[in-house]
Amino acid sequence: MQDIFIGFTSVFGSPDWWQPLLMYLVGGVLIWLAINKEYEPMLLLPIGFGAILVNLPLSIAGTPPAGSGYEAGFLQILYEMGIKTELFPLLIFIAVGAMIDFGPLFKNPFMIFFGAAAQFGIFATMIVATLLGFSLKEAASIGIIGAADGPTSIFVANIFAPELLGPISVAAYSYMSLVPLIQPPVIRALTTRKERRIHMVYHESSAPKWLKVIFPIAVTMIAGFVAPISVPLIGSLMFGNLIRESGVLERLSQAAQNELANLVTLLLGITIGCSMVAANFLTWKTLMIMGMGLVAFVFDTAGGILFAKLVNLFLPKERKVNPMIGACGISAFPMSGRIVQKMANDEEKGNIILMHAIGSNVSGQLGSVIAGGMVLALVPLFAK
């Protein structure tokens, strides 16, 4: 008779009976945010459902309790094959690479430096995390939320702090979806109205095709020599981009942008949800990680804007950059670029800085991957 009610007794017979219930609530909130608020629904919905699945009695969908006699569940198998091997984030990067057009960057190459400056949040947050008592590897994994780039966050966290993968992924994707709420107040706080009304001249010219083909190859090779450990990340991103720009693999490019992106995103989300087991997730660390994720996004935005203001000190009046462009160096593509264009238009009707903003935004994609590679290369040197 007891076996019939084992689902209830295994939960309510435990002193920690409230933990799975709270996780159902967390999963429900993520699903609600995905459906009602449309915050990154492609990821938050599967993550939320995965969080519910993995906390059901006996966790047959994930890792069954030791000695229960059950085999690893399908979520555990997906986790072992897709996350532990780092396959899912890399496949997502192939899809992302196939979606990126570096054209706006080729027309305004200087924008690339905003993609570097806006990685400041990664490092600033890492320092804050060590001050709060996290180890260097944990702090680096938390800081990388500031890459504003889900696959990079998952890739780094999986290597340095796999036990924190759940909260880090949730924080990364949640704040990426909240960029329209996070960035505007920071931009307004750090810029004057006059600065936000600066116009930028855009020269319409198309980059030669050979540059578009050579660029992904050159970037991969340079990154490979500077930070060899970043090759899987940058290599898969640039492979996707090469497929797109080659002009002879249209079917593969479309497959990467659509079928591959959709299928891997579907499995990635629910598999990350599998890492949100109550005992691991319901800790103070999770709350601190959520807080520091916000810090990372704020510092990223501030880093890009302040760098733009620094550059303006040395530029003649007619060539000054609109410092809001710096905020687009965050890698939340293309959301950040659109927000900045909207803000520029709100300040002064007809102020078009979209192409510069997108140039800065695609640079952020490069910057975040390189920053991830730097963190992967440098942290093990000191964390021995």
Partner 1 sequence: MDAFIQSLQYESDTIKALAVTAGGLVGVFVTLGVFFLVIQVSNKLSKKS
Q: What residues line the site for partner 1 (CB under 8 A)? A: 105-106, 109-110, 112-113, 115-116, 119-120, 122-124, 126-127, 129-131, 134-136, 139-140, 207-208, 210-211, 214-215, 218-219, 222-223, 226-227, 363, 366-367, 370-371, 374-375, 377-379, 381-384
Q: Which of 83/147 has CB closer to partner 1? A: 147
Residue 224 class from Cβ within 10 Å (0-12 exposed, 13-18 middle, 19+ buried)? Answer: middle
CA distance 321 to 202: 12
Q: Which of 119/336 has CB closer to partner 1? A: 119
Q: Which of 121/167 has CB closer to partner 1? A: 121
Q: Which of 126/274 has CB closer to partner 1? A: 126
Shortest distance, CB of residue 275 to partner 1, whole angstroms?
24
Shortest distance, CB of residue 356 to partner 1, whole angstroms?
15
- Residue closest to 46 by CA, chosen among 233, 282, 275, 258: 275
CA distance 60 to 40: 28
Shortest distance, CB of residue 200 to partner 1, whole angstroms?
18
Shortest distance, CB of residue 215 to partner 1, whole angstroms?
7
Q: Which of 194/203 has CB closer to partner 1? A: 203
Shortest distance, CB of residue 211 to partner 1, whole angstroms?
4
Shortest distance, CB of residue 298 to partner 1, whole angstroms?
17
SS3 322: coil
Shortest distance, CB of residue 254 to partner 1, whole angstroms?
27
Q: Which of 40/245 has CB closer to partner 1? A: 245
Q: Which of 118/272 has CB closer to partner 1? A: 118
Give pairs for 349-353: CB < 8 Å, separation 24+. Answer: 351/197, 351/199, 352/202, 353/199, 353/200, 353/322, 353/324, 353/325
Q: 88 and 271 in contact (C-beta within 8 Å)? A: yes
In this structure, what is the dihedral angle of CA atoms 201, 206, 212, 215, given to the nearest 10 degrees? -30
Shortest distance, CB of residue 337 to partner 1, whole angstroms?
18
Q: 148 and 334 in contact (C-beta within 8 Å)? A: no
Q: Which two tokens stand for residue 302?
A: 């501030």
Q: Which of 225/284 has CB closer to partner 1? A: 225
3-state SS string for 44-100: HHHHHHHHHHHCCHHHCCCCCCCCCCCCCCHHHHHHHHHHCCCHHHHHHHHHHHHHC
Q: Give the DSSP letter of residue 383.
A: -
Q: Which two tokens stand for residue 94?
A: 């192939």
